[in-house]
Chains A and B, each alone.
Chain A
């Protein structure tokens, strides 16, 4: 599985719509390996989805995301696990351990009942890693 994580100063980028940098990891047998790093700041939503598709990204782990961009990623066949915050290393470990749905990684104000995008996405992503 190829996972993209939007990062800023070793933390998850707070707003994926405005994220400047994304690190692409290949996760095999629970071991992550950096595949590529790319800048995505100036690109439009369409260009970002196209770029992520070209990089064969299966899943995006990100912080806040607008409904518009979220829909475009889903339409582009990319799974999204939004409303995540914390250090990249912790998040990556949680992705590998399949514990990313833990409450401790949720952004403040984002309970599962409140964040529509996350609820749909977690349902969709169940048992995928």
Chain B
């Protein structure tokens, strides 16, 4: 009789497991000591913690949630008997990513009414959060991806820059992420709860730009029927981002200089000055110093905005970031399109590593977006890239097949290094910089991949012209 009962209990446990593992929401239960007693498959997927490692461990060490230390929802439910529904929190996954989830809690009661633990269900809402971020452009420090040492140096000073209220000048080629940096500085600064207003100075004619920046009073000109606040007024106590500042006229430069110096301005048609409590972040894809030398840009304005200068590195000079950025954009477009692309083919990576990206990170993003439209499998292939890359397909195929006809990773790596060495006249230091790796790494790879260097290499070239 007893055996029969325990058999029934086991069957019940097994069927409970099947039910729990078939649902998309994460579910875990805890006993009265806050140790995990069950952990379903969705919970494994969302948290990245295998069930075998989770069972028997304190729930806070497994779940790693923002509320574990202060305001644990399960604790609240077990103590008060009140369930919690759809509370939005974040957990930290094993790779350090913040993942937003919705949680609900309830207590577990035995037949005699005694509380023996709690159950928590949770749902991954990171996709919703990603879309929200896309809509609100609420970018932070964590959205800037780079392991390049020059970019790392910029990251190191970002908190201090954000904390100050000094004017920042961001220089960088088109597509290097100037606005992303500006938004990240704003979102890290004490002004983050106030508006971030961006204006592209090159997109508007001079007179319109003046009224856009400073606003106007009713009657200032024909059709000015009522007062209109300018961007300076809209950005009050916040940040004003002046993109393409190198393109504004001399007359507007003088007005802007006055605002930066005196912190006051007059809207068009107004006789009263207004105070501007605005932090200015300016950006340009031109070399302002050169424009000053050519008398196109006023030197006094240049020195006024050149308080903190950030020089963003073009993507061709930080090629080590390309794989990271590809991963980031795959994750990003998976969230937006609902696809499940996991990676790019090695031939795609090698093609992109050899490309100079005149349009920088934005161009890489567009290439991945293009590939997403055409890709219906889990891997982006060369044929999914834009036409100009697809044309290179035959070249790349030949080049990956050089070594013994094998498409191995080592063979590809060897060919990439040989091609890079050829392109840089066998100069190993230049090649290392070109590939975005340290020269000692290149030397090691040359040795391990058995690459034969010509006797007249890059070094002898400089000695024997």
Q: Which of A14, A20, A72, A115 contacts B141 (CB 8 A)?
A: A72
Given contacts A63-B64, A68-B142, contact A17 B49 (CB under 8 A): no
Which residues does chain B contribute within 8 Å of A11, judged by CB atoms?
58
Q: Which residues B36-95 have CB closer than 8 A to chain A?
A: 47-50, 53-54, 57-58, 60-70, 92, 94-95
B342 within 8 A of partner (CB): no
CB-nearest residue of chain A relative to B53?
A108
Chain B neighbourhood of A109, CB < 8 A: 47-50, 53-54, 62, 94
Q: How far is the CA of A18 from the CA of B90 in the complex (A)?
A: 11
Interchain nearest-CB distance for B47 vs A (Å): 7
A81 at the interface (CB under 8 A from B): no
**The stretch of A30-38, A41-49, A91-99 that contacts the partner chain:** A41-49
B96 adjacent to A70 (CB under 8 Å): yes
Q: How does the 8 Å CB contact mask read for B156-177 relative to A, with 1 for contact and 0 for none? A: 1111001100000000000000
Please determine whether B94 and A115 come into contact, CB atoms closer than 8 angstroms. yes
Is A66 among interface residues, defined by CB-CB distance under 8 A?
Answer: yes
Which of B62, B142, B156, B162 is close to A108, meaning CB atoms less than 8 Å apart?
B62
How far does the Cβ of A51 sit from chain B's closest Cβ, in whole Å?
12
Q: Which residues of B contact A75 (CB under 8 A)?
A: 152, 155-159
Most chain B beta carbons < 10 A, residue from A15, A50, A68, A83: A15
Which residue of B has the minimal Cβ distance to A83? B94
Asked if A110 is at the interface (CB within 8 A of a chain B CB), the reply is yes
Whether a CB of chain B sits under 8 angstroms from the CB of A71 is yes
**Total B residues in contact with A, Cβ cutoff 8 Å:** 37
- Complex partner residue of B92 from A41, A65, A116, CB under 8 angstroms: A65
Q: Chain B contacts of A17 at CB under 8 A?
A: 66, 92
Asked whether, in the complex, the Cβ of A114 is within 8 Å of the Cβ of B95, the reply is yes
Q: How far is the CA of A45 from the CA of B58 in the complex (A)?
A: 27
Is A55's CB within 8 Å of the partner chain B?
no
Complex Cα–Cα for A110 and B57 (A): 13
A54 at the binding interface (Cβ < 8 Å): no
Contacts of B159 in A (CB 8 A): 45-46, 49-50, 72, 75-76
A8 to B72, CA, bound (A): 13
CA distance A41 to B71 in the complex (A): 13
Residue A123 at the chain B interface, CB threshold 8 Å: no
Within 8 A of B (CB), among A54-85: 63-68, 70-72, 75-76, 82-83, 85
Contact A114 B96 (CB under 8 A): no
**C-alpha spacing A49/B188, complex, angstroms:** 13
B69's contact among A18, A49, A65, A67, by CB below 8 Å, is which? A18
B97 at the interface (CB under 8 A from A): yes
Chain B proximity mask over A1-24: 1 for CB below 8 Å, otherwise 0: 000000010010111011110000
Q: Is A107 an interface residue (CB 8 A)?
A: yes
CA distance in complex: A95, B14 (Å): 43
Q: Is A117 positioned at the interface, with any CB of B under 8 Å from its CB?
A: yes
- Asked whether A46 lies within 8 Å of B53 as measured between CB atoms, the reply is no
**A21, closest chain B residue (CB):** B69
Is B98 in contact with chain A by the CB < 8 A criterion? yes
Pick from A67, A76, A109, A117 the residue with the most CB of B within 10 Å.
A109
For the complex, what is the distance from the CA of A16 to the CA of B60, rounded to whole Å?
12
B30 to chain A, nearest CB (A): 14
Q: How far, in whole Å, are A117 and B50 apart by their CA atoms in the complex?
A: 19
Least CB distance, B144 to chain A, in whole angstroms: 10
B250 to chain A, nearest CB (A): 38
For residue A15, which residues in chain B have a CB less than 8 angstroms away from its CB?
64-66, 68-69, 92
> Does B140 make an interface contact (CB < 8 A)?
yes
CB contact under 8 A between A64 and B92, given known A46-B188, A108-B54? yes
Verify B49–A108 contact, CB threshold 8 A: yes
| A85 to B62 Cα, complex, angstroms | 10
Distance to closest chain A CB from B146 (angstroms): 10
With A71-B155, A115-B95 already in contact, the answer to whether A108 and B61 are too (CB < 8 A) is: yes
Whole-angstrom distance between the alpha carbons of A8 and B69 in the complex? 7
Which 4 residue pairs of A and B lie closest in terms of their CB atoms, listed nearest first? A109-B49, A67-B96, A68-B142, A75-B156
| 29 pairs of residues in contact across A and B, judged by CB atoms under 8 Å | A8-B69, A13-B69, A14-B61, A14-B63, A15-B68, A18-B67, A18-B69, A20-B69, A41-B70, A45-B159, A46-B163, A64-B64, A65-B92, A66-B92, A66-B96, A66-B142, A70-B96, A71-B142, A71-B155, A75-B155, A76-B159, A83-B94, A85-B58, A109-B49, A109-B50, A110-B94, A114-B94, A116-B95, A117-B95
A residues touching B (Cβ–Cβ < 8 Å)?
8, 11, 13-15, 17-20, 41, 45-46, 49-50, 63-68, 70-72, 75-76, 82-83, 85, 107-110, 114-117
Beyond A18-B67, A107-B64: 7 further Cβ-contacts under 8 Å?
A: A14-B61, A46-B159, A64-B64, A70-B96, A108-B54, A109-B94, A116-B96
Query: Which B residues lie at the A interface, using CB under 8 A?
Result: 47-50, 53-54, 57-58, 60-70, 92, 94-98, 140-142, 152, 155-159, 162-163, 188
